[in-house]
């Protein structure tokens, strides 16, 4: 049988078509829709819905010391844009203030989701925030370092009082010239970030009266103790047992369980008392990546270290300190059951001639020092315990 050129071309085309059709069928058989529980190749994520946006919640700090918030809707001013490391960026303001009167009015009328922006200038007075935000709609108070809250004198008052003001983001401005700088009473899940707090009568930043799950990050604290050197701490968590029945206490004589607070990446210098003071009654916080200079320590015979831990189960990691005439870091047992279970690791301390230990536990009481801590300039050495 003779096949002309046209027929030959036709049969070749049909053959090629059959091959291609067969190959497609085989590919479809191996690559159809997945059965429940089927796995994709490595590197492909299987999800039933989009992954949530955000970072670990503050009410349970993650093992990673970085704590941050992230937006769920970038167009909403009540949401948080977070940079790596927990840095809060303030959304566009819902109200902008330029005077003390306007700030007081804004704080009095604020509601969840509001963003108060401070223009540069001096805001003299004592300012109180009482309205809480919410998890979904925190409240922001933001400004640059040129926006200065001035308490009017170091002998009395709180320059900024967060009184029950949970879910607040206090960011970026300057606080000065008051007895106490920033006071938090009964606040939860708030962030104090990037403030410059200086020239303060007593302590600079204080969280107390069941203030828990807060983040104090990236602040610069200096020149405390201008009223009484004995009380010139940089950052202070909880209340001393001697104050549990005081007029300003809200714990009715019970321990001030200001728990799980994170103190991270702050720079603290020229404090007459400890850079950080952690009181009995507090549990489960973290002190991470801070820098201390104790060259002004000594307002009281007990103010002889950068850090004094009287609470339980705190993690103290990655901090650096210079200049302490006594010890570097201390623990104390003020009450039975307190001052125990604290972990110190990977800190670098240079006491520059201090008379004591790098890590001094009184008593040792279940506190641990890892061998990756580095201590120099301490007359007695690394620790009165032993590293592990």
Taking only the tens place, the pLDDT of each residue in 273-292 is 999 999 999 999 999 999 99
Q: Give the structural domain span for 215.
A: 81-303
3-state helix, strand, coil in the chain (%, to 5): 10, 30, 55
- Assess if residue 66 is contained within a domain: no
State the Cα–Cα distance between residues 210 and 189, nearest whole angstrom: 12
- Assess if residue 328 is contained within a domain: no
pLDDT averages per 10-residue partition of the chain, 388 residues = 41 44 39 31 28 32 34 32 61 98 98 98 98 98 97 98 98 98 98 97 98 97 96 97 90 95 97 97 98 90 93 98 97 96 98 97 96 98 96
- Assess if residue 370 is contained within a domain: no
- Please name which of 210, 171, 212 lies closest in space to residue 192, comparing C-alpha atoms: 171
Task: Determine the pLDDT at residue 302.
Answer: 81
- Assess if residue 308 is contained within a domain: no
Look up the CATH number of the domain holding residue 185.
2.160.20.10
Asked if 212 and 190 count as a contact pair (C-beta separation under 8 A), the reply is no
The CA–CA distances, whole Å, from 377 to 308, 351, 364 equal 19, 5, 22
For residue range 164-173, list pLDDT tens digits in order: 999 999 999 9
State the Cα–Cα distance between residues 206 and 63, nearest whole angstrom: 24
- Assess if residue 327 is contained within a domain: no
Asked if 241 and 251 count as a contact pair (C-beta separation under 8 A), the reply is no
Domain count, the chain: 1
Task: Determine the pLDDT at residue 298.
Answer: 87
- Assess if residue 11 is contained within a domain: no
Task: Determine the pLDDT at residue 54.
Answer: 29
Task: Determine the pLDDT at residue 86.
Answer: 55
Task: Determine the pLDDT at residue 87.
Answer: 84
- Assess if residue 76 is contained within a domain: no
- Assess if residue 342 is contained within a domain: no
Q: Please state the pTM of the whole predicted model.
A: 0.79
Question: Cis omega before residue 363 (within 30°)?
Answer: yes
Burial profile 84-119: b = 16 or more Cβ within 10 angstroms, e = fewer: eebbbbbbebbeebeebebbbebbeebeebbbbbbe
- Please name which of 231, 312, 310, 307 lies closest in space to residue 275, comparing C-alpha atoms: 307
Element (H, E) at 369: strand 368-369
Q: Under DSSP, is residue 177 helix (H, G, I), strand (E, B) or coil?
A: coil
Q: Under DSSP, is residue 8 helix (H, G, I), strand (E, B) or coil?
A: helix
For residue range 320-343, list pLDDT tens digits in order: 999 999 999 999 999 999 999 999
């Amino acid at each position: 049988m003779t096949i002309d050129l046209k027929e030959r071309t036709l049969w070749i085309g049909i053959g090629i078509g059959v091959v291609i059709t067969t190959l497609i069928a085989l590919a479809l058989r191996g690559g159809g829709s997945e059965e429940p529980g089927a796995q994709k190749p490595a590197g492909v994520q299987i999800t039933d819905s989009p992954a949530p946006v955000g970072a670990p919640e503050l009410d349970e700090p993650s093992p990673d010391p970085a704590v941050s918030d992230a937006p769920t809707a970038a167009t909403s001013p009540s949401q948080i844009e977070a940079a790596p490391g927990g840095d809060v960026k303030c959304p566009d303001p819902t109200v902008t203030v330029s005077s003390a009167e306007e700030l007081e009015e804004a704080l009095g009328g604020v509601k969840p989701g509001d963003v108060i922006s401070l223009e540069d200038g001096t805001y003299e007075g004592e300012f109180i925030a009482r309205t809480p935000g919410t998890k979904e709609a925190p409240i922001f108070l933001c400004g640059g370092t040129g926006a200065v809250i001035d308490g009017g004198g170091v002998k009395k008052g709180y320059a900024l009082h967060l009184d029950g003001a949970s879910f607040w983001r206090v960011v970026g401005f300057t606080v000065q010239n008051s007895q106490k700088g920033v006071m938090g009473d009964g606040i939860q899940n708030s962030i104090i970030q990037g403030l410059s707090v200086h020239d303060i009568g007593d302590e600079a930043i204080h969280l107390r009266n069941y203030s828990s799950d807060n983040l104090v990050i990236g602040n610069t604290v200096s020149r405390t103790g201008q009223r009484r050197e004995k009380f010139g701490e940089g950052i202070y968590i909880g209340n001393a047992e001697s104050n549990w029945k005081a007029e300003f206490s809200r714990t009715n004589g019970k321990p001030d369980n200001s728990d799980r607070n994170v103190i991270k990446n702050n720079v603290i210098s020229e404090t007459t008392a400890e850079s950080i003071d952690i009181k009995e009654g507090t549990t489960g916080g973290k002190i991470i990546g801070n820098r201390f200079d104790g060259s002004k320590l000594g307002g009281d015979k007990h103010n002889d270290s950068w850090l004094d831990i009287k609470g339980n189960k705190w993690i103290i990691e990655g901090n650096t300190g210079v200049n302490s005439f006594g010890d570097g870091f201390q623990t104390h047992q003020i009450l039975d059951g307190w001052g125990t279970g604290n972990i110190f690791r990977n800190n670098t301390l240079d006491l520059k001639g201090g008379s004591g230990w790098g890590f001094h536990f009184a008593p040792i009481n279940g506190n641990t020092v890892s061998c990756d801590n580095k201590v120099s300039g301490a007359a007695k050495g690394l620790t009165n315990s032993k590293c592990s």
